[in-house]
Protein backbone atom coordinates (compact mmCIF):
# COMPACT_ATOMS: atom_id res chain seq x y z
CA UNK A 1 0.00 0.00 0.00
CA UNK A 2 1.37 3.39 -1.01
CA UNK A 3 1.62 5.98 1.74
CA UNK A 4 0.71 9.49 0.61
CA UNK A 5 3.60 11.88 1.15
CA UNK A 6 2.84 14.57 3.71
CA UNK A 7 2.19 18.03 2.28
CA UNK A 8 4.58 20.66 3.65
CA UNK A 9 5.33 24.31 2.97
CA UNK A 10 8.57 23.31 1.30
CA UNK A 11 7.08 20.56 -0.90
CA UNK A 12 4.42 22.94 -2.25
CA UNK A 13 7.02 25.69 -2.71
CA UNK A 14 9.13 23.36 -4.85
CA UNK A 15 6.14 22.28 -6.96
CA UNK A 16 5.19 25.92 -7.42
CA UNK A 17 8.70 26.68 -8.66
CA UNK A 18 8.47 23.76 -11.07
CA UNK A 19 5.14 24.66 -12.68
CA UNK A 20 4.30 28.34 -12.18
CA UNK A 21 5.71 31.13 -14.35
CA UNK A 22 8.50 32.64 -12.21
CA UNK A 23 6.93 36.08 -11.80
CA UNK A 24 6.72 36.00 -7.99
CA UNK A 25 9.66 35.74 -5.59
CA UNK A 26 7.47 33.87 -3.14
CA UNK A 27 8.08 33.13 0.50
CA UNK A 28 8.08 29.36 1.19
CA UNK A 29 4.72 29.42 2.95
CA UNK A 30 1.54 27.70 1.76
CA UNK A 31 -1.66 28.71 3.53
CA UNK A 32 -4.60 26.35 3.82
CA UNK A 33 -7.22 28.34 5.73
CA UNK A 34 -8.00 31.71 7.26
CA UNK A 35 -10.41 33.38 9.65
CA UNK A 36 -10.59 37.06 10.52
CA UNK A 37 -7.03 38.36 10.78
CA UNK A 38 -5.51 34.87 11.20
CA UNK A 39 -4.02 32.44 8.68
CA UNK A 40 -2.84 28.84 9.06
CA UNK A 41 -0.27 27.17 6.82
CA UNK A 42 -0.42 23.55 5.64
CA UNK A 43 1.73 22.50 8.60
CA UNK A 44 -0.72 24.01 11.09
CA UNK A 45 1.32 27.09 12.03
CA UNK A 46 -0.75 30.17 12.89
CA UNK A 47 -0.04 33.73 11.73
CA UNK A 48 -1.46 37.19 12.34
CA UNK A 49 -2.10 38.71 8.93
CA UNK A 50 -1.07 42.37 8.75
CA UNK A 51 -1.14 42.27 4.93
CA UNK A 52 -4.68 41.06 4.11
CA UNK A 53 -3.65 39.77 0.69
CA UNK A 54 -2.30 43.30 0.01
CA UNK A 55 -5.30 45.28 1.30
CA UNK A 56 -7.84 42.85 -0.15
CA UNK A 57 -9.48 41.00 2.76
CA UNK A 58 -10.72 44.15 4.48
CA UNK A 59 -13.44 42.21 6.28
CA UNK A 60 -10.95 39.50 7.25
CA UNK A 61 -10.61 36.02 5.84
CA UNK A 62 -13.82 34.08 5.17
CA UNK A 63 -16.24 36.66 6.52
CA UNK A 64 -19.46 34.70 7.16
CA UNK A 65 -21.72 37.06 5.22
CA UNK A 66 -19.50 37.03 2.13
CA UNK A 67 -19.03 33.26 2.30
CA UNK A 68 -22.79 32.72 2.56
CA UNK A 69 -23.48 35.07 -0.38
CA UNK A 70 -20.94 33.24 -2.56
CA UNK A 71 -22.30 29.81 -1.61
CA UNK A 72 -25.92 30.76 -2.23
CA UNK A 73 -25.21 32.50 -5.54
CA UNK A 74 -22.94 29.68 -6.77
CA UNK A 75 -25.80 27.24 -6.26
CA UNK A 76 -28.16 29.40 -8.36
CA UNK A 77 -26.23 31.14 -11.17
CA UNK A 78 -22.51 31.80 -11.57
CA UNK A 79 -22.11 33.41 -14.98
CA UNK A 80 -24.06 34.86 -17.88
CA UNK A 81 -22.96 37.10 -20.72
CA UNK A 82 -23.13 40.88 -20.34
CA UNK A 83 -25.65 40.71 -23.20
CA UNK A 84 -28.10 40.15 -20.35
CA UNK A 85 -28.99 41.69 -16.99
CA UNK A 86 -28.68 40.01 -13.60
CA UNK A 87 -30.26 40.99 -10.29
CA UNK A 88 -26.93 40.88 -8.34
CA UNK A 89 -25.25 43.21 -10.86
CA UNK A 90 -28.07 45.75 -10.75
CA UNK A 91 -28.13 45.77 -6.94
CA UNK A 92 -24.33 46.00 -6.69
CA UNK A 93 -24.15 48.84 -9.23
CA UNK A 94 -26.88 50.78 -7.45
CA UNK A 95 -25.06 50.42 -4.12
CA UNK A 96 -21.72 51.61 -5.58
CA UNK A 97 -23.34 54.68 -7.12
CA UNK A 98 -25.06 55.55 -3.83
CA UNK A 99 -21.85 55.20 -1.78
CA UNK A 100 -19.57 57.04 -4.21
CA UNK A 101 -21.79 59.87 -5.42
CA UNK A 102 -20.74 59.09 -8.99
CA UNK A 103 -23.28 58.33 -11.69
CA UNK A 104 -22.26 55.20 -13.58
CA UNK A 105 -20.51 51.86 -12.99
CA UNK A 106 -18.55 49.45 -15.16
CA UNK A 107 -17.48 46.20 -13.51
CA UNK A 108 -14.22 44.40 -14.26
CA UNK A 109 -12.10 41.65 -12.70
CA UNK A 110 -9.13 43.61 -11.37
CA UNK A 111 -7.67 47.00 -10.57
CA UNK A 112 -5.47 47.12 -13.65
CA UNK A 113 -8.49 46.45 -15.88
CA UNK A 114 -10.40 49.22 -14.09
CA UNK A 115 -7.55 51.68 -14.68
CA UNK A 116 -7.30 50.73 -18.35
CA UNK A 117 -11.04 51.29 -18.71
CA UNK A 118 -10.83 54.62 -16.89
CA UNK A 119 -8.18 55.79 -19.36
CA UNK A 120 -10.40 54.77 -22.28
CA UNK A 121 -13.36 56.72 -20.87
CA UNK A 122 -11.18 59.78 -20.25
CA UNK A 123 -9.71 59.69 -23.75
CA UNK A 124 -13.11 59.21 -25.37
CA UNK A 125 -14.44 62.22 -23.46
CA UNK A 126 -11.39 64.32 -24.40
CA UNK A 127 -11.75 63.41 -28.08
CA UNK A 128 -15.42 64.42 -27.97
CA UNK A 129 -14.22 67.87 -26.89
CA UNK A 130 -11.48 68.08 -29.53
CA UNK A 131 -8.66 67.53 -27.05
CA UNK A 132 -5.62 65.25 -27.11
CA UNK A 133 -5.35 61.95 -25.28
CA UNK A 134 -2.26 62.36 -23.06
CA UNK A 135 -2.37 61.17 -19.44
CA UNK A 136 -0.54 62.80 -16.53
CA UNK A 137 0.46 60.49 -13.68
CA UNK A 138 2.45 60.92 -10.47
CA UNK A 139 5.93 59.83 -9.47
CA UNK A 140 5.69 56.95 -7.00
CA UNK A 141 2.41 55.71 -8.43
CA UNK A 142 1.38 52.14 -9.12
CA UNK A 143 -1.64 51.41 -11.31
CA UNK A 144 -1.14 47.77 -12.34
CA UNK A 145 0.91 45.41 -14.50
CA UNK A 146 -0.66 45.68 -17.96
CA UNK A 147 1.25 47.54 -20.66
CA UNK A 148 -0.64 50.81 -20.23
CA UNK A 149 -0.42 50.67 -16.45
CA UNK A 150 3.33 49.90 -16.35
CA UNK A 151 3.77 52.87 -18.72
CA UNK A 152 2.70 54.85 -15.62
CA UNK A 153 4.93 52.86 -13.28
CA UNK A 154 8.52 52.46 -12.22
CA UNK A 155 11.22 52.10 -14.85
CA UNK A 156 12.23 48.66 -13.55
CA UNK A 157 8.69 47.40 -14.28
CA UNK A 158 9.02 48.57 -17.89
CA UNK A 159 12.41 46.94 -18.53
CA UNK A 160 12.25 44.46 -21.41
CA UNK A 161 8.63 45.21 -22.30
CA UNK A 162 9.12 48.11 -24.70
CA UNK A 163 8.12 49.93 -26.68
CA UNK A 164 5.89 51.47 -24.04
CA UNK A 165 2.49 52.87 -25.04
CA UNK A 166 2.82 56.58 -25.80
CA UNK A 167 1.01 59.51 -24.24
CA UNK A 168 1.89 59.10 -20.55
CA UNK A 169 3.81 61.83 -18.69
CA UNK A 170 5.11 61.69 -15.12
CA UNK A 171 4.88 64.62 -12.71
CA UNK A 172 6.09 65.03 -9.10
CA UNK A 173 3.46 64.06 -6.50
CA UNK A 174 1.92 66.96 -4.57
CA UNK A 175 3.42 69.57 -6.94
CA UNK A 176 0.70 71.78 -8.41
CA UNK A 177 3.22 74.11 -10.06
CA UNK A 178 4.46 71.18 -12.17
CA UNK A 179 0.88 70.51 -13.31
CA UNK A 180 0.29 74.13 -14.29
CA UNK A 181 3.43 74.20 -16.42
CA UNK A 182 2.01 71.49 -18.69
CA UNK A 183 0.08 72.73 -21.71
CA UNK A 184 -3.45 71.43 -21.22
CA UNK A 185 -4.81 71.09 -24.78
CA UNK A 186 -3.19 67.67 -25.29
CA UNK A 187 -4.10 66.40 -21.82
CA UNK A 188 -7.11 64.07 -21.47
CA UNK A 189 -6.72 63.20 -17.79
CA UNK A 190 -4.72 63.30 -14.59
CA UNK A 191 -4.60 60.04 -12.63
CA UNK A 192 -3.37 59.58 -9.07
CA UNK A 193 -3.77 57.58 -5.88
CA UNK A 194 -4.90 59.82 -3.00
CA UNK A 195 -2.72 57.56 -0.86
CA UNK A 196 0.06 55.84 -2.78
CA UNK A 197 0.37 52.20 -1.71
CA UNK A 198 3.25 50.56 -3.59
CA UNK A 199 5.03 53.90 -3.65
CA UNK A 200 5.49 53.77 0.13
CA UNK A 201 2.25 55.05 1.74
CA UNK A 202 2.60 58.61 0.45
CA UNK A 203 -0.40 60.81 1.23
CA UNK A 204 -1.73 63.51 -1.08
CA UNK A 205 -1.79 66.97 0.47
CA UNK A 206 -5.32 68.45 0.75
CA UNK A 207 -4.29 71.71 -0.91
CA UNK A 208 -2.83 69.76 -3.85
CA UNK A 209 -5.97 67.73 -4.52
CA UNK A 210 -8.26 70.74 -4.20
CA UNK A 211 -6.10 72.86 -6.50
CA UNK A 212 -5.87 69.97 -8.97
CA UNK A 213 -9.68 69.60 -8.97
CA UNK A 214 -10.01 73.32 -9.70
CA UNK A 215 -7.42 73.17 -12.51
CA UNK A 216 -9.15 70.16 -14.09
CA UNK A 217 -12.47 72.02 -13.97
CA UNK A 218 -10.97 75.09 -15.63
CA UNK A 219 -9.17 73.12 -18.36
CA UNK A 220 -11.89 70.46 -18.84
CA UNK A 221 -9.37 67.71 -17.98
CA UNK A 222 -10.70 64.47 -16.48
CA UNK A 223 -9.58 63.79 -12.90
CA UNK A 224 -9.14 60.08 -12.10
CA UNK A 225 -8.62 58.76 -8.57
CA UNK A 226 -7.17 55.26 -8.39
CA UNK A 227 -8.59 53.95 -5.10
CA UNK A 228 -7.88 50.30 -5.81
CA UNK A 229 -5.81 50.03 -2.62
CA UNK A 230 -6.87 53.03 -0.53
CA UNK A 231 -10.63 52.75 -1.11
CA UNK A 232 -13.35 50.75 0.65
CA UNK A 233 -12.86 51.87 4.26
CA UNK A 234 -9.09 51.20 4.24
CA UNK A 235 -8.23 54.77 5.27
CA UNK A 236 -11.06 55.22 7.77
CA UNK A 237 -13.55 56.62 5.25
CA UNK A 238 -15.51 54.83 2.54
CA UNK A 239 -13.07 56.27 0.01
CA UNK A 240 -9.86 58.23 0.52
CA UNK A 241 -11.41 61.06 -1.52
CA UNK A 242 -13.86 61.63 1.33
CA UNK A 243 -11.07 62.87 3.61
CA UNK A 244 -10.41 65.68 1.11
CA UNK A 245 -13.99 66.42 0.06
CA UNK A 246 -12.77 66.26 -3.53
CA UNK A 247 -14.89 64.38 -6.08
CA UNK A 248 -13.06 62.93 -9.10
CA UNK A 249 -14.66 62.49 -12.50
CA UNK A 250 -13.67 58.81 -12.48
CA UNK A 251 -12.68 56.49 -9.63
CA UNK A 252 -11.28 52.96 -9.88
CA UNK A 253 -11.81 50.25 -7.26
CA UNK A 254 -10.81 46.59 -6.79
CA UNK A 255 -8.87 44.74 -4.05
CA UNK A 256 -11.29 44.96 -1.08
CA UNK A 257 -14.37 45.16 -3.30
CA UNK A 258 -15.02 41.40 -3.25
CA UNK A 259 -13.13 40.67 -0.02
CA UNK A 260 -10.98 38.15 -1.92
CA UNK A 261 -13.14 37.34 -4.92
CA UNK A 262 -11.78 39.16 -8.03
CA UNK A 263 -13.95 42.25 -8.54
CA UNK A 264 -12.99 45.61 -10.04
CA UNK A 265 -15.03 48.71 -10.82
CA UNK A 266 -14.90 51.97 -12.72
CA UNK A 267 -17.18 54.70 -11.36
CA UNK A 268 -17.70 57.81 -13.49
CA UNK A 269 -19.84 60.94 -13.36
CA UNK A 270 -22.54 61.65 -15.90
CA UNK A 271 -20.44 64.27 -17.73
CA UNK A 272 -17.71 61.88 -18.85
CA UNK A 273 -20.02 58.86 -19.07
CA UNK A 274 -22.00 60.54 -21.85
CA UNK A 275 -18.99 60.11 -24.18
CA UNK A 276 -19.33 56.31 -24.09
CA UNK A 277 -21.41 54.53 -26.75
CA UNK A 278 -22.50 50.94 -27.27
CA UNK A 279 -19.47 48.76 -28.02
CA UNK A 280 -16.83 51.17 -26.71
CA UNK A 281 -15.82 48.81 -23.91
CA UNK A 282 -16.63 45.31 -22.71
CA UNK A 283 -15.74 42.31 -20.58
CA UNK A 284 -16.52 38.61 -20.49
CA UNK A 285 -16.30 37.88 -16.77
CA UNK A 286 -16.60 41.35 -15.24
CA UNK A 287 -19.76 41.82 -13.20
CA UNK A 288 -20.95 38.23 -13.36
CA UNK A 289 -23.60 37.20 -10.80
CA UNK A 290 -21.13 35.44 -8.47
CA UNK A 291 -18.72 38.37 -8.32
CA UNK A 292 -21.56 40.85 -7.79
CA UNK A 293 -23.10 38.78 -5.00
CA UNK A 294 -19.75 38.78 -3.21
CA UNK A 295 -19.27 42.50 -3.82
CA UNK A 296 -22.74 43.44 -2.59
CA UNK A 297 -22.36 41.30 0.55
CA UNK A 298 -18.98 42.96 1.21
CA UNK A 299 -20.43 46.47 0.97
CA UNK A 300 -23.43 45.58 3.12
CA UNK A 301 -21.24 44.03 5.83
CA UNK A 302 -18.91 47.05 5.79
CA UNK A 303 -21.88 49.34 6.23
CA UNK A 304 -23.61 47.35 8.95
CA UNK A 305 -20.42 46.73 10.96
CA UNK A 306 -19.28 50.36 10.64
CA UNK A 307 -15.96 49.20 9.20
CA UNK A 308 -14.83 52.68 8.14
CA UNK A 309 -15.04 53.86 11.76
CA UNK A 310 -13.27 50.73 12.95
CA UNK A 311 -10.43 51.45 10.53
CA UNK A 312 -10.26 55.09 11.60
CA UNK A 313 -10.08 54.32 15.32
CA UNK A 314 -7.70 51.37 15.01
CA UNK A 315 -5.45 53.29 12.61
CA UNK A 316 -5.21 56.23 14.98
CA UNK A 317 -4.43 53.89 17.89
CA UNK A 318 -1.87 51.90 15.88
CA UNK A 319 0.03 54.97 14.68
CA UNK A 320 0.13 56.28 18.24
CA UNK A 321 1.48 52.95 19.57
CA UNK A 322 4.05 52.71 16.78
CA UNK A 323 5.27 56.22 17.57
CA UNK A 324 5.55 55.34 21.27
CA UNK A 325 7.49 52.14 20.58
CA UNK A 326 9.67 53.14 17.62
CA UNK A 327 9.60 56.94 17.41
CA UNK A 328 13.09 57.23 18.91
CA UNK A 329 14.58 54.38 16.87
CA UNK A 330 17.68 55.71 15.04
CA UNK A 331 16.78 53.83 11.86
CA UNK A 332 13.23 55.19 11.62
CA UNK A 333 12.63 58.02 9.16
CA UNK A 334 8.86 58.45 9.46
CA UNK A 335 5.56 56.75 10.30
CA UNK A 336 2.78 57.81 7.96
CA UNK A 337 -0.64 56.69 6.86
CA UNK A 338 -4.41 57.04 7.03
CA UNK A 339 -6.64 54.58 8.82
CA UNK A 340 -5.19 51.08 8.58
CA UNK A 341 -2.93 51.91 5.63
CA UNK A 342 0.33 52.59 7.42
CA UNK A 343 3.97 52.73 6.38
CA UNK A 344 7.09 52.82 8.54
CA UNK A 345 10.00 54.22 6.54
CA UNK A 346 13.46 53.19 7.69
CA UNK A 347 16.98 54.04 6.59
CA UNK A 348 17.50 50.42 5.48
CA UNK A 349 15.81 47.84 3.25
CA UNK A 350 12.82 46.32 5.04
CA UNK A 351 12.55 42.92 3.33
CA UNK A 352 14.81 41.27 5.99
CA UNK A 353 12.50 42.78 8.61
CA UNK A 354 9.47 41.20 6.92
CA UNK A 355 11.18 37.79 6.84
CA UNK A 356 11.96 37.98 10.56
CA UNK A 357 8.40 39.06 11.39
CA UNK A 358 7.19 35.99 9.53
CA UNK A 359 9.36 33.82 11.75
CA UNK A 360 7.59 35.43 14.71
CA UNK A 361 4.16 34.69 13.24
CA UNK A 362 3.19 38.01 11.65
CA UNK A 363 2.77 38.75 7.94
CA UNK A 364 3.61 42.20 6.58
CA UNK A 365 5.16 43.64 3.44
CA UNK A 366 8.19 45.62 2.29
CA UNK A 367 7.44 48.24 -0.35
CA UNK A 368 9.40 51.05 -2.02
CA UNK A 369 12.56 49.42 -0.68
CA UNK A 370 12.69 50.93 2.78
CA UNK A 371 9.05 51.03 3.85
CA UNK A 372 7.34 48.44 6.06
CA UNK A 373 3.71 48.38 4.93
CA UNK A 374 0.91 47.44 7.32
CA UNK A 375 -2.50 46.91 5.69
CA UNK A 376 -4.23 44.37 7.96
CA UNK A 377 -7.85 43.26 7.77
CA UNK A 378 -9.93 46.12 9.13
CA UNK A 379 -11.56 43.71 11.60
CA UNK A 380 -8.22 42.94 13.25
CA UNK A 381 -8.41 43.13 17.06
CA UNK A 382 -6.36 45.42 19.27
CA UNK A 383 -4.78 42.34 20.83
CA UNK A 384 -3.67 41.15 17.39
CA UNK A 385 -2.30 44.60 16.60
CA UNK A 386 -0.33 44.51 19.87
CA UNK A 387 1.20 41.18 18.82
CA UNK A 388 2.10 42.65 15.43
CA UNK A 389 3.89 45.56 17.14
CA UNK A 390 5.78 43.10 19.36
CA UNK A 391 6.84 41.17 16.25
CA UNK A 392 8.16 44.36 14.63
CA UNK A 393 10.19 45.08 17.77
CA UNK A 394 11.64 41.56 17.92
CA UNK A 395 12.40 41.61 14.20
CA UNK A 396 14.17 44.98 14.47
CA UNK A 397 16.35 43.65 17.27
CA UNK A 398 17.18 40.49 15.28
CA UNK A 399 18.00 42.40 12.09
CA UNK A 400 20.22 44.85 13.97
CA UNK A 401 22.17 41.97 15.51
Query: Which residues are marked as active site?
Result: 142, 226, 255
**CB proximity list for 330: less than 8 A, separation 6 or greater:** none
The total number of residues written for the chain in this structure? 401
Say if residues 289 and 88 touch (Cβ distance below 8 Å): yes
Contact at 8 Å (CB) between 191 and 143?
A: yes
Please, are residues 382 and 37 in contact by the beta-carbon 8 Å criterion?
A: no
**CA-to-CA distance for 79 and 340, rounded, in angstroms?**
34
Within 129-175, residue ranges assigned H as helices are 147-150, 155-158
Beta-ladder partners of 252: 226, 266
Q: Which of 106, 130, 110 is nearest to 120 (CA)?
A: 106
Backbone phi, then psi, for 147, in 5-degree steps?
-60, -45
> Exposed, middle or buried, 191 (CB in 10 Å: 0-12/13-18/19+)?
buried
Q: Closest by alpha carbon to 371, among 335, 339, 400?
A: 335
148: helix, strand or coil: helix
Exposure pattern of 155-167 as b/e (b: 16+ CB <10 Å)?
eebeeeeeeeeeb
How much of the chain is helix, strand and coil, in % rounded to 5?
Answer: 40, 20, 40
d(CA 146, CA 116): 8
Structural contact between residues 29 and 41, judged by C-beta atoms closer than 8 angstroms: yes
Which residues lie below 8 Å from residue 367, measured CB to CB, with a gap of 6+?
197, 198, 199, 200, 201, 343, 373
Distance separating alpha carbons of residues 28 and 58, to the nearest angstrom: 24
CB 113 within 8 A of CB 143: no
Amino acid sequence: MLVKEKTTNESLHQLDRQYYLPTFDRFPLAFSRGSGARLWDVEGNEYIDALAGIAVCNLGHCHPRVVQAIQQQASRLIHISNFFVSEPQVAFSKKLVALSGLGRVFLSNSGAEAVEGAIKIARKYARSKGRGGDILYMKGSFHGRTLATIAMGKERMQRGFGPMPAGFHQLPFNDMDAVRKIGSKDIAAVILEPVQGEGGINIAEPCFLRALREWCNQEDVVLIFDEVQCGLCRTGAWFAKDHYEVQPDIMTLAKGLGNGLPVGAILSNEKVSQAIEFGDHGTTFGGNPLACAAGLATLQAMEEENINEQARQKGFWLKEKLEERFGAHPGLVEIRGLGLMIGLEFTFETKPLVKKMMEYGVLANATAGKVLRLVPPLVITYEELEKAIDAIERALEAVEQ
